[in-house]
Amino acid sequence: MDILMFELVLLWSTAGLYLLAGILFGYAIALRKEAGGRRAMIIASAGLLLHSAALLIRWAISGHPPYTQKYEIYSVSAWTSVLLFLTLAWRRVKLRLMGIVIMPLSLPVMAVSLSGSPAVTTLSPSLRGIWFHIHAISNALTAGASILAVGASILYLIKEKRAGLQFYKKISSLDVLDEYAYKCAAFGFIFWSMTVISGALWANNTWGRYWAWDPIETWSLITWFMFGLYLHMRHFFRWRGRKAALLLCACFCSPVFGLVLLPLFIESIHSGYFQ
């Protein structure tokens, strides 16, 4: 078995473990079985270890960080999401059932990654500058934080409807879930700002202009404004609870459309990174 095939086996095994963890999180919530949540955490952690090994292998054989093509970009985004979730959930037991959202959301991201070409590419001169690396790392952190934020919001909506059941009293209170959603969204907004700014600086170094109204660039700006709207409504208009959770879920649809669906249908200067 060559090294690329071994990497693929690791990634498919990771996807299988993430799927199993998601099923167990669903089992824990649907049947109100706390043990299901603990098993899901262990399985998700095992999946993260395999995922980490695959990314390290990719880095070793390519000679550069694994975030320069579709196969790598989405894999790193899924890895970041699961890493942030597990880091939080192992420390905050009452937040573990956010996994019912985090793991299913990570799976399609993994699927998009595995649909790309695993061929190893050399790092072009335009991708060797510091601004590109800041751009790529910030984007991955934004993806992870955004998925955590929407995970907390969806768990809030689930608990709000079933708060009277004994099992759901073991989950963090509605106020805590609301606050975590807000903090994760704010964290993501900071790194989304860094993504946009570093992308503009990288573009100027590479193509001699900061902004070209490329479809991906434009949609990233729309997404930035949408998350900014959420934070504005939250801070200045004191939006809390259900309406804040619904707005955050709506905001999350923007990067999904802009970074997953839009590149499939519209050509742009970013198209080469999503093939």
pLDDT at 119: 80
Asked whether residue 256 is assigned to any structural domain, the reply reads yes
Judged against a pLDDT cut of 80, whether residue 234 lies above it is answered with yes
Q: Of 20, 179, 18, 28, which Cα lies nearest the Cα of 96?
A: 28
Asked whether residue 211 is assigned to any structural domain, the reply reads yes
Residue 166 DSSP one-character state:
T
pLDDT at 2: 81
pLDDT in tens, 25-61: 888 877 777 767 888 999 999 999 999 999 999 999 8
Asked whether residue 226 is assigned to any structural domain, the reply reads yes
Asked whether residue 230 is assigned to any structural domain, the reply reads yes
Dist CA 140 CA 152 (whole Å): 19
Q: Is the dihedral of CA 248, 253, 254, 260 positive or negative?
A: positive
- Domain with 207, as residue range(s), is 124-274
Asked whether residue 108 is assigned to any structural domain, the reply reads no
Asked whether residue 183 is assigned to any structural domain, the reply reads yes
Are 55 and 75 in contact by the 8 Å Cβ rule? The answer is yes
pLDDT in tens, 244-256: 999 999 999 888 8
Dist CA 218 CA 225 (whole Å): 11
pLDDT at 201: 92
Judged against a pLDDT cut of 70, whether residue 268 lies above it is answered with no
Mean pLDDT, to the nearest integer, of 248-274?
75
| DSSP assignment of 8-30 | HHHHHHHHHHHHHHHHHHHHHHH
Judged against a pLDDT cut of 70, whether residue 273 lies above it is answered with no
pLDDT, averaged across the chain = 86
Instruction: Kindly indicate the confidence band of residue 19, based on its pLDDT and cuts at 50, 70 and 90.
Output: very high
- Counting the structural domains of the chain, the total is 1
Dist CA 190 CA 228 (whole Å): 10
pLDDT in tens, 56-101: 999 998 888 888 887 888 899 899 999 999 999 998 888 888 888 8
Residue 150 makes CB contacts below 8 A (sequence gap 6+) with 101, 105, 181, 248, 249, 252
pLDDT at 97: 83
Higher pLDDT, 229 or 123: 229
pLDDT at 1: 55
Asked whether residue 78 is assigned to any structural domain, the reply reads no
Higher pLDDT, 186 or 170: 186
Could you identify the residue written with the tokens 């742009």? 268
Q: From the CB of residue 124, how many other CB atoms can be counted at a distance below 10 Å?
A: 11
Asked whether residue 3 is assigned to any structural domain, the reply reads no
